[in-house]
């Protein structure tokens, strides 16, 4: 295992991101933890094992498992095993598994050890890094949660080869978002010039892509570990619009990444209409998303507006009762700004302005 990055969060807590040479290298490292371990899988990642570890929980794959029932299953298993505070929960899977494992570890005996093994691109560049853990509640995404960074995050690119094209693109949307938020254009240029290699999942290109994407996220979260200074919130670019679409479609219409891509498109349009974002920059960023196959022109039906608005109004990013949106002034320059509800309605129902 090679150390890819180290993240320093609140109270000096560190997460080490390790890159495995292959699945054998990954398994060898995981075997060093000993017996005081509880594994969390979903029905997809459990299939990667010929024989599952003796103490484990297998959740149904998908967003529907991010709930209190799944949390209780993990906690019951930990108690039945007699897992101590010095024990370890290992989340082996995508964002849902890693979120559930992290949330359980954060509350079990007020905190036990945590290792995350993200198996999707989305989880590698986003959900596993930074310590956020949450469940969906009353139909709203990530409404109940905690901050609890993993001790270690173990990555093997071999797991990416098991992903469907849709799931791979689900994660790539977050990478493109990071490219727009980056303080330089290196990741943006890589996405422009190495599209074929990225879509072919070339290992060398993916390692560069992952490292650059993680560097962007780490830059934001290390300055604002618990999201109280208005810096880390910039990583929510596209998420205010995107989460409302996800929630109002009951998590079934689009994957998270597709919603983030779509939401970023709406944020870019909002910036142009308010004179915050240069039209040329917004157009170029939108074309980059489109080049990877994201549907940036989708609009909700007029009959869906009330439900969409209801979910939007419950977004966590509020100030003085108003929902705040992340807008871009340019490359790596994001701001938080409220939008008039009529503007939002026009953006999600009307035709694009460029």
Residues involved in catalysis:
110, 132, 174, 217, 227, 232, 236, 239, 243, 256
d(CA 14, CA 5): 10
Short-list 351, 338, 339, CA closest to 298: 351
Longest Cα–Cα distance in the chain: 59
According to DSSP, residue 161 is labeled G
Lookup result for tokens 């849902």: 96
**Radius of gyration over every alpha carbon of the chain, rounded to an integer in angstroms:** 20
Instruction: Tell me the CA distances in angstroms from 124 to 56, 77, 306, 311, one per residue in order.
Output: 22, 26, 34, 27
d(CA 103, CA 141): 14
d(CA 318, CA 306): 19
In this structure, the number of other CB atoms found within 10 A of the CB of residue 66 comes to 25
Bridge pairing between strands 140-147 and 37-42:
unpaired
In this structure, the number of other CB atoms found within 10 A of the CB of residue 26 comes to 21
According to DSSP, residue 353 is labeled -
* DSSP secondary structure string for all residues of 16-78: EEEE-SSHHHHHHHHGGG-SSEEEEEETTGGGG-SS--SSEEEEPSSGGG-SHHHHHHHHHHH
In this structure, the number of other CB atoms found within 10 A of the CB of residue 169 comes to 20
Q: The tokens of 287 are what?
A: 């074309």
Q: % helix / strand / coil in the chain, to the nearest 5?
A: 50, 20, 30
């Amino acid at each position: 295992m090679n150390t890819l990055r180290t993240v320093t969060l609140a109270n000096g807590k560190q997460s080490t991101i390790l890159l495995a040479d292959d699945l054998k290298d990954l398994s060898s490292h995981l075997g060093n933890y000993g017996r005081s371990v509880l594994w969390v899988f979903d029905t997809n990642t459990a299939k990667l094992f010929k024989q599952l570890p003796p103490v484990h929980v297998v959740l149904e794959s998908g967003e529907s498992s991010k709930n209190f029932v799944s949390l209780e299953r993990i906690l019951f298993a930990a108690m039945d095993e007699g897992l101590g505070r010095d024990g370890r929960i290992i989340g082996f899977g995508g964002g849902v598994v890693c979120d559930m494992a992290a949330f359980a570890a954060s509350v079990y005996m007020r905190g036990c050890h945590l290792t995350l093994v993200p198996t999707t691109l989305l989880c590698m560049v986003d959900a596993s890094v930074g310590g956020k853990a949450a469940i969906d509640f009353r139909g709203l995404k990530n409404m109940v949660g905690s901050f609890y960074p993993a001790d270690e995050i173990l990555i093997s690119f071999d797991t990416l080869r098991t992903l469907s094209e849709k799931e791979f693109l689900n994660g790539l949307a977050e990478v493109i978002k990071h490219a727009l938020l980056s303080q330089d254009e290196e990741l943006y240029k890589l996405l422009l010039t190495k599209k074929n290699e990225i879509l072919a999942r070339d290992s060398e290109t993916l390692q560069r892509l992952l490292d650059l994407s993680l560097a962007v996220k780490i830059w934001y979260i290390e300055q604002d570990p618990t999201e109280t200074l208005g810096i880390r919130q910039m990583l929510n670019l596209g998420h205010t619009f995107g989460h409302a679409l996800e929630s109002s479609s009951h998590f079934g219409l689009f994957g998270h990444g597709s919603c983030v891509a779509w939401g970023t498109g709406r944020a870019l349009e909002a910036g142009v209409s308010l004179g915050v974002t240069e039209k040329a920059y917004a157009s170029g960023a939108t074309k980059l998303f489109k080049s990877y196959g994201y549907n940036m022109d989708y609009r909700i039906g007029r009959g869906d507006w009330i439900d969409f608005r209801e979910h939007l109004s419950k977004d966590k990013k509020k100030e003085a009762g108003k929902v705040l949106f992340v807008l871009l002034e340019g490359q790596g320059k994001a701001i938080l700004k409220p939008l008039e509800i009529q503007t939002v309605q026009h953006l999600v129902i009307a035709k694009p302005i460029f």
